[in-house]
Structure 1
Amino acid sequence: MIARKPVTDGVQALLAALTGKPVGIRTAPTDPASGKAFPPPYTLLYPLDHSCDDGTLADRATTAISDYQATFVSGPVPGVPDSHGGDAQSQWLADNARKIVERPVDGSSGYQHALTIPGVSCYRREAHEAGGTSEASDAIMTSVIRFRFYLEATA
């Protein structure tokens, strides 16, 4: 069986590397140095479905399909009065995160950016736009992508 927590950790680390911004699981990411929430922009990662049944009679629980929703949160510039997050900022985060499904430019197999999950390989990835929201009173806007990862145990 492929455990969910290592998959979530791998997806969180890859999103943080691609966007250069913090990623929180189901909540605003926290700065370990201060214990306080990071201000936007950041990403919220929501684990969704995780299925370990490959649908075969000989299922040995060596595969899984994991779905995630990533919400890219823009926000005001800290210390700048009357600043606000905008569509360009949330789309910039989403564009960088979409590189999760980017293929190598040389045409080789696999993906351009490694998804590191101990004992697991990811042989297929999908990204689907799921919309976004705006909250004018908070000066925050979001873009949303749902990711699906097809996984197989390697050890």
Structure 2
Amino acid sequence: MIERQYVTDGVIALLAAVTGKPVSERTVPIDPDTGKPIPPPYTLVDPLDHVTDDNTLADAHTTAISDYQATFVSGPVPGVPDSRGGPRQAQWLADRGRKVVARPADGSPGYAHPLTIPGVGCYWRQAREVGGTSDPADGIITSVIRYRFFLQETGT
């Protein structure tokens, strides 16, 4: 059976790699050196559905479909008083988040950026943008992408 926490860890690592910014599960990232919240921009990952039943009589639960929502959070510009997050910053971060489904530039099979989950391969990925916040009075602007990962145990 494919364990959800390993998938979540892999998704967080993948998003951190493609965005180059902090990523955290369901809460604001914390700076391990100071114990304080990291200021935006960053990404919040929310695990959604995780289906392990392939609807066959002989289902051995060796496959799973895992859904995640990534909220790309913009924020004030460091060192600029009274600055706020903006749509360009949120979109910039979401553009990097879309690299999760990017294919290799040379046309080879697979994906340009690996999703590393011990003993599990990802044979298909989907991403769709589903909205975000847009009120500048909020002080932050977000963009949201939902991902779906089709997984199968590899036995390694």
TM-score of the alignment, normalized to the shorter chain, above 0.5: yes
Compare 133-142 and 7-16 and name the one that shifted more: 133-142
Please name the residue that 2:23 is paired with.
Answer: 23
**Partner Cα distance (2:135, 2:107) in 1:** 41
Show CA shifts across 1:128-155 (max 9, x none). 1101113433410000000000000111
For the 8 Å contact 2:86–2:136, the answer to whether it is kept is no
**Aligned letter for 1:95?**
D
Higher strand share: 1
Which 4+ runs in 1 deviate beyond 6 A? none
> Structure 2: which 5+ residue stretches go unaligned?
none
> Structure 1: which 5+ residue stretches go unaligned?
none
**Partner Cα distance (2:122, 2:28) in 1:** 27
Show CA shifts across 1:59-96 (max 9, x none). 10100000000000000012310211110100010000
Show CA shifts across 1:33-83 (max 9, x none). 111110000001000000011111111010000000000000001231021
Please name the residue that 1:141 is paired with.
Answer: 141
**Aligned letter for 1:65?**
I
Percent sequence identity is 70
User: CA offset at residue 108 of structure 1?
Assistant: 1.2
Structure 2 residue 47 is the aligned partner of structure 1 residue 47? yes
Within 5 Å, which residues of 2 pair with 1:1-155?
1-155=1-155
Normalising to structure 1: TM-score of the pair? 0.97
> What's the RMSD between the two structures over aligned residues?
0.9
**Partner Cα distance (1:154, 1:87) in 2:** 40
* Equivalenced residues, count: 155
**Partner Cα distance (2:106, 2:75) in 1:** 37
